[in-house]
Structure formats: C-alpha cells, structure tokens
Chain A
C-alpha cells in the first residue's frame, strides 16, 4: 500500500512546515474564541444589520452573534482556508514535482519501490497532514471553548448565574436549574440584573421568559421532541402527564396551575389577529417615539430600551399606540428580555456544528490539495506544477471573496470550489451534506488521476 520508510522520510523533511502552519492556525482560533464576547458581537450586529421587528427574535441574529457564527464568519471563511491553502501549495509541489525537477526522485525510484507506491505514499502524507492539522485545530478549539466558556462539557453559565451563586453561596448548577431562587430573592435579583447590566424589571421579565423556556425544554425532553415544536404547540405538553409535571416542576408551580397557564398561552396564540393588531400598535408607537428621539425606526426597534429611558418618547409612543403606559413598558421589557435570551444562545455552543465546520473545512482542503497534487504529479518542472497547482486554488479563493463582496459579482462564486463549504449553512442548520460529498468526491477522483498520471509518465531522472 504505502512505503513506511518513504513516509518516514517525507515526514522528516516536511513536518516543520506542518508544525508552523498548524501552530499559527491554533493560535488564531484560540484568540478568536478567547476574545469572543456575546454582548459586543450582538451590539456590533445591531449596528450593522438593519432589522425589522419580526427578524429581531429570529434565529438569524443569534446565528450571527454566537461564538460559532463568529468563528464561521471570520476564522473558517478566511484564515482556516488561506493558511492551509499555502501549506498545501508548498507541500504538494515539494512532494512530487520538485523532487522530479531536481532529480532527487531518482534515489527513491532506484530502490525496489514501485512508482505507484512512491506516489501513493506522498499523496497519503499530504492527506494525513491536512487531516492532522484540522484534528489539532479542532481539539485546541474545543479545549479553548471549554476553558473560556465552559460550554463543551456541561452547560455554560451566564454572568448573572455566576454572580447570584456567589451571593447565595450555592452551586452554579443549582441556581441555573432553579431560576426561581433568583426571582424570589430581592437581593439576588439586583445582583443578577447588575451582572447583566439591565434593570430589575427587564431582568425579571428575562427570568420569567427563561424559566418558561426551560419548562418547555423539560417537557420536550420528556416527549423526546424538538423544543421549537413543543413551543409552537403547547397542547402537546397537556396531553402528557409526565411532561406536564416536569415542566411545572421547572416553573416551580403546581401542575394544574401550569396547565391553566398553558391554556392561556394556547388561547393567546390562537388569536393571531389580535397579536397582529398589537404589533401594529407597537410599531405606530415606535414610529412617533423615533421622531422624538430623532432616530430611524429600525434602529429603535432593535433597541427599545431607549424609549423606556426617555419620558417624552415614551409618552409619544403611548399616545400614538393607544396602549397603556404600563403595558407598553412591559412590552419593552419583554423585548429586552428576549434579546437577553438570544445573547444566552450566543454562549450556547453546539459541539456538533463545530465539528461539522471543521469537517467541512477539511473536506474543502482535501479537494483543494487534490488539485495541487494532480499538477505536481503531471508536471516534471516545479514552475509548471506551481503555475496551475497554486494558481487554480488561489483563483478559487479570490473568486469566492469577489462573490461575497458585491451582488454584481455574485456569479463568481459559482466558479469557485470554495463555495461548497458554506459556513452559514452549517451554523444555521441548513443543508450541507451534498456539498460535503461533492468535495470528498472531487478530492478522491483528482488524487486517483494524479497518481495514475505519475505512474504512466516519462521521468527525466
């Protein structure tokens, strides 16, 4: 299959380059994870994105502001592509074409080793080195996430939980499991609100929202269903005694009371017309408040706290919307609370998605390396091997960047292999398996062609 001594030789003369590139990648990945701060990312996104009310609570924002979103948009779209690319270009050329060009391949081929074994060994080295590079990056990444965010093994704890657990002298786990502990303790409430940098009212709304989410989660676990499904159809909980009890337990209330609460939720969601009317009213209020504050409505919509802090704006909003002042404030609190929830989701770290990001990046590099390797096998001169073996992968990279820069150049992305590795699709749960399979297939086919070409060609040695 492969020749061990040749593999060892190849390893010896190439490992330093591998070490350098892997180390740089690890450092960058770790730095991005360590410096990640969900609130900064979130406010940055607020500034960049102009979103309407409906988008505000959507998945997209949490997808962009989460740690994975940040990694996907920066690290896995740029550094984790261009650095291995350079490594591949150099290594692929030195593995075959450069040795033929210089003539040193003669020493390998004057031993009783088949040509096919020699070239297979070189190909396997290239694949293995890329695989190991991403394995190391993945392990370092996961370790860094665990150390800084603590969300790989076990759940990450938010700042308020940490602060309250110190205050109450309780285990973080216990506090996170029973948020009523905070809700029922005035001092804890203040401490938690301070840790989150929000006022107590918003914090209370947040805790209630969080508890009810946790209750849905508990019920969903019992029902073995997706939490979103349970949320959109609470009747599911009512139909299962066990789920009802579990959810009520999280809420800290009797199951019969929880059942009644669910009834109101079901009734409210049935009256979609009413909620539409309500939304219109809120928009009207926001529009007039925006005039007072001299802001864009969209900007204000994503940061309704500004209305609350400005008496004149608040009054204008109340007048325009026809909603009572108390109720309007509570709507604002509700919105701010759900924003806090999406910040929490930023801390949530899906190990599966992270692994898929790394797998995708590896597959892309596998496919790219097959191009460089193919030309390294075909050409006897380094300069020719590099012209195509480096030129094509770099062109792919540039095409992808051009496709992203402006819509007029979007067509370029269809010219690039890199487009098949779509970080957004991985993070937002889109479909990416077809692309992954294509990348793997391209790689396998080009490697096989390259090896065959080398086996059949004339060597000037």
Chain B
C-alpha cells in the first residue's frame, strides 16, 4: 500500500493557476522528487498534503488518513520544511528549536543535536540575523528532530551553498537508510536525480510524468555523438540505417540514438569508418523532461 496517496487532487485558483487532477503514489521508504518550474503547482500540492489547503475535489491521504480532516493526526508522522522560511519570534536558533520541541512534545534533544552537528549549524546565533542558509538549516533541524517517519520538504536546498548541499544530501541518505519516506520538491533536475528514487514532473498544475531515476540511469536507449575525419565518411555514414537525432554537416558530426540491443551491429558498422571521436551523451532527467516538454508543446 502507498504511504502517501494523492488522488485526482484539484484546486483551481483561476487563470490556469492551481493544480488539476494530480494523482501521486509514494511508497514507504521511497525518496520522491517533485520537479517543476516556479508556479507549476509544487507548493500547492504540498500544502494539501500538510492539510493547509482544502481540496476542491479529489483527496490527499497519508497512511490512510485524510490530510484535511485528520491533519493533526498525520503530523505525528510528518516533518515539514516550508518553502519560505519565516520563524516565529524567538531570540536565537536554540530558543526556537526548544519551543518547537515543546510543542512537538519532544523531550530528548540528542537526535536534534546530532543533526545540528552534521549540518554544522550554530544554533546560538540570533534567529533574525541568520543568513538564508543558516535559516534553512535551522528549519531542516526543526523538521527532522522528532525523527518523523515521513519528511516533506519544499525546495529545501535553496540558499545552501554546494558544500552544504552535499551535507544535506548526506543527511537525506542517512534518513533513507533508516527507512524514512521523503518527499521533496525542487526546480533543479540534477538534485533530484542524485537523491531520489522516483521523480514526478509537474507543469501548469498537471503531472506530466512520473519516472524512476533508475530507469533514467539505466536507460537502454543511448545517444552517441560521433565525429568523422573526412567528409566522405560522414556522407557515407549518414546513409546508414540508424536513428539519427541530429546531423551536423559543417563539423562532420552526427548524433545517433542506439538501443543497447543493437549496439553490436552499430559497432560493426562503425568499423568501416574512420572515426575521430565517439562520446556517449548521458541521458539525464533534464533531457528526459525536456523531451516531454517538447512533446507537450507539439501536442498543443
């Protein structure tokens, strides 16, 4: 059974804004990435999961509990990092974390301290004067400290420098090893590709595709770029029976799609040519989604 289940969720804000008929299923122990441009509907979906918004139609449920009507109960399972970091009035990071622990009913702060150490956060700093990254870390600690089963993060890495982002990914991986379910939104493909098991793409409030990153990584459709020494070779090769993505006459280059099943035939054919270089163009999520975007536009 899915731990998080969003069914036909619709919230129409007018002017095409909102989310429309969004359905997602996230299994226990999965790290789920939620990608889309700004305004695509990521935050709206997350707010429904947190019970902050009431669905117009459809539903969101966590662990079988409705996110709107049982929102207090599901919070026992969920830690949340909001997209916009605005803390309540508290003098220092420590004060804020202590107050938050109190409301959570948390007595043991040792786990919180271990995360603080890992993220190299100085919680004694003035909460209002913290840099964006520091605030982000504080919010992450607040979400993680009760050791919840599910963690929902709305663009958690904005404001973190690359080094800190790596630390953060480490923390996420540790949580994943412990069997936590993680749902994070992002507008960066590389980030979710590195950390997530599954990725959903949302555009204009609609889910365009859900793919497993494994499928992307171990895609059997590979793309190669080949440059030939002579124009003769190039012209000859273009006439071969392959799936050419692009032909660059000026540079004697071709970009060709080859499925792993045909790779041997492809190499045999290449033997008859004088190749200057050959490289594999890595298939990325970015590329995958770009192709989907293109399809969308063509369909429109």
Contacts and interface: CB of A to CB of B under 8 A. Distances in A.
Report whether chain A binds chain B: yes
Interface of A: 3, 5-6, 8-9, 12-13, 99, 102-104, 106-115, 117, 456, 458-461
A188 to B, nearest CB: 65
B41 to A, nearest CB: 14
Contacts of A5: 99, 102-103, 105
Nearest to B96: A107
A70 B105 CA distance: 51
B14 interface: no
Contacts of B73: 112
A74 B67 CA distance: 54
Contact of B78 (A103, A106, A110): A110
B103 A108 contact: yes
A113 B82 contact: no
Interface stretch (B32-40, B49-57, B247-255, B265-273): B49-57
13 contacts: A5-B105, A6-B103, A8-B102, A9-B103, A107-B103, A107-B142, A109-B50, A110-B75, A111-B103, A112-B75, A112-B104, A461-B47, A461-B50
B87 A104 contact: yes
A107 B87 contact: yes
A459 B84 CA distance: 14
Contact of A103 (B51, B86, B104, B105): B86
Nearest to A456: B54
A459 B88 contact: no
Contact of B52 (A6, A117, A461): A461
A30 to B, nearest CB: 31
A106 B103 contact: no
Contacts of A3: 103
B53 A458 contact: yes
Contacts of B72: 112-115, 117
Given A5-B102, A5-B103, A111 B75 contact: yes
Contacts of A108: 88, 103
Contacts of A99: 88
Top 6 nearest A-B pairs (CB, nearest first) are A103-B86, A110-B80, A5-B102, A13-B89, A459-B52, A114-B72
Contacts of A9: 88, 99, 102-103
B79 interface: yes
Interface in B52-111: 52-54, 71-73, 75-76, 78-80, 82, 84-90, 99-100, 102-105
A275 B50 CA distance: 84
A6 B86 CA distance: 17
A285 B284 CA distance: 113
A459 B47 contact: yes
B143 interface: yes
Nearest to A117: B72
Most buried by B among A6, A9, A112, A458: A112
Nearest to A101: B86
B82 A115 contact: no
Contacts of B84: 103
Given A13-B89, A106-B52, A114-B72, 16 more contacts: A3-B103, A5-B102, A8-B102, A99-B88, A103-B82, A103-B86, A104-B88, A106-B50, A110-B50, A110-B143, A112-B75, A113-B72, A113-B103, A115-B71, A458-B52, A459-B52
A173 B100 CA distance: 61
A103 B71 CA distance: 18
A117 B90 CA distance: 21
Nearest to A3: B103
A107 B88 contact: yes
A134 B193 CA distance: 61
A229 B290 CA distance: 96
A225 B210 CA distance: 88
A12 B103 CA distance: 14
A110 B74 CA distance: 9
B104 A461 contact: no
Nearest to B72: A114
Nearest to A105: B88
A107 B84 CA distance: 11
A141 B75 CA distance: 48
A102 B54 contact: no
Contacts of B85: 103
Contacts of A112: 72-73, 75-76, 104-105
B130 to A, nearest CB: 14
A460 B46 CA distance: 11
Contacts of A114: 71-72
Most buried by A among B72, B75, B100: B72
A458 B67 CA distance: 13
A5 B71 CA distance: 19
B253 to A, nearest CB: 50
B75 A459 contact: no
Nearest to B146: A111
Given A107-B142, A108-B103, A13 B50 contact: no
A102 B52 contact: no
A417 B52 CA distance: 35
A460 B83 CA distance: 11
Most buried by A among B88, B89, B143: B88
Contacts of B52: 106, 109, 458-461
A8 B82 CA distance: 23
Given A3-B103, A115-B71, A459-B52, A110 B79 contact: yes
A110 B144 CA distance: 12
